[in-house]
């Protein structure tokens, strides 16, 4: 592992920042002996990957590194109303970070919208990655969906997006908003509330309202990626695992099934009781599957 600066140790791992290609990333390390297993975040910073999963992977002998995308957590932020990068830039970030961590190719994992980034990263930078795990994602960018892919559950989305946004500077309001959203999506509200509080508490600076708005800007405003990558998935020549919740209303399970069909040799693991998040009760099962890659 290359040396990093500004490190601190928590009960779950080592928190630090690392610069790659001019971007500063907030990262957390679990274990340190093997080639990296890089966990690419969804829309809630690195904490979209549960602690239990990171720890299980580290116990399995992996050097696990979860990190914040641009505009989230401790990573570089920009004005939320003027993002200057795309999904393809986020994919390049993943490759730059993997190379900065170790000279050996990394196992890359992406969850939710981070799974879209991970697909593009492995296609655009094949030398940087040795394996791919995709959790709760789909093979196309946000926007019009292909006819053979199930779209978001309309009733669930109506309920989710009819709730007014919170005051992003109010910790309790942000946590309650996250818990209500998790309940609507079929996830654990208590776990979502605790994660939102942790995200809020590790937001740097004195203006969390601006910073947390940046996170929404990253998720909803910067994900256009052209040309399409779905047609390129058969080019992937690395071991791949697709993990998907049976009860996922945001990216219904047919999206994971399509990914597993189109990536050569990919294994599909369906979590029967999961929605969009990986529940703590499934972490050992998911880790065991990832450790086979």
pLDDT mean values, one per 10 residues, the chain (293 residues): 47 81 91 90 86 96 93 72 76 95 96 94 97 97 88 95 88 92 96 92 59 51 73 97 98 98 98 97 98 97
Which has the closest alpha carbon to 91: 126, 121, 122, 128?
121
CB 80 within 8 A of CB 217: yes
pLDDT for 212: 53
pLDDT for 71: 75
pLDDT in tens, 65-84: 999 888 777 787 766 556 67
Main-chain phi, psi angles of 177, to 5 degrees: -60, -45
Task: Specify the CATH number for 5-152+207-290; select among 3.40.50.2300, 3.40.50.1820, 3.30.70.420, 3.40.50.2000.
Answer: 3.40.50.1820
pLDDT for 191: 96
pLDDT for 80: 56
DSSP code at position 131: E
Domain boundaries, given as residue ranges, for the chain: 5-152+207-290
Question: H-type helices in the chain, by residue range?
Answer: 51-59, 87-101, 113-124, 154-161, 171-185, 189-201, 208-221, 254-262, 283-290
pLDDT in tens, 111-157: 998 999 999 999 999 999 999 999 999 999 877 889 999 999 999 99
pLDDT for 56: 96
pLDDT for 172: 94
pLDDT for 11: 44
- 97 vs 132: CA distance, rounded Å: 15
pLDDT for 116: 93
pLDDT for 242: 98
pLDDT for 5: 45
């Amino acid at each position: 592992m290359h040396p990093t600066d500004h490190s601190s140790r928590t009960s779950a791992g080592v928190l630090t920042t690392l610069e790659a290609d001019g971007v500063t990333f907030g990262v957390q390390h679990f274990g340190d002996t093997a080639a990296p297993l890089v966990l690419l975040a969804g829309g809630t910073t690195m904490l979209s990957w549960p602690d239990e999963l990171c720890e299980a992977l580290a116990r399995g002998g992996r050097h696990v590194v979860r990190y914040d995308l641009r505009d989230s957590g401790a990573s570089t932020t920009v004005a939320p109303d003027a993002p200057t990068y795309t999904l393809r830039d986020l994919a390049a970030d993943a490759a730059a970070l993997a190379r900065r961590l170790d000279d050996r190719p990394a196992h890359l994992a992406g969850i939710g919208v981070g799974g879209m980034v991970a697909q593009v990263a492995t296609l655009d930078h094949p030398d940087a990655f040795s394996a791919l795990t995709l959790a709760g994602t789909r093979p196309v960018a946000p926007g019009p969906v292909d006819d053979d892919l199930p779209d978001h559950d309309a009733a669930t989305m109506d309920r989710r997006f009819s709730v007014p946004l919170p005051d992003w500077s109010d910790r309790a309001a942000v946590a309650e908003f996250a818990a209500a959203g998790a309940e609507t999506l079929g996830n654990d509200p208590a776990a979502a509330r605790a994660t939102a509080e942790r995200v809020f508490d590790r937001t740097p600076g004195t203006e969390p309202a601006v910073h947390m708005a940046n996170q929404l800007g990253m998720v909803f405003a910067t994900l256009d990626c052209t040309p399409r990558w779905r047609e390129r998935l058969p080019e992937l020549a690395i071991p791949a695992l697709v993990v998907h919740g049976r009860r996922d209303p945001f990216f219904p399970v047919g999206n994971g099934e399509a990914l597993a069909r189109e990536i050569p040799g990919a294994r599909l693991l369906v979590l029967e009781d999961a929605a969009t998040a990986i529940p703590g009760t499934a972490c050992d099962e998911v880790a065991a599957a990832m450790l086979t890659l």
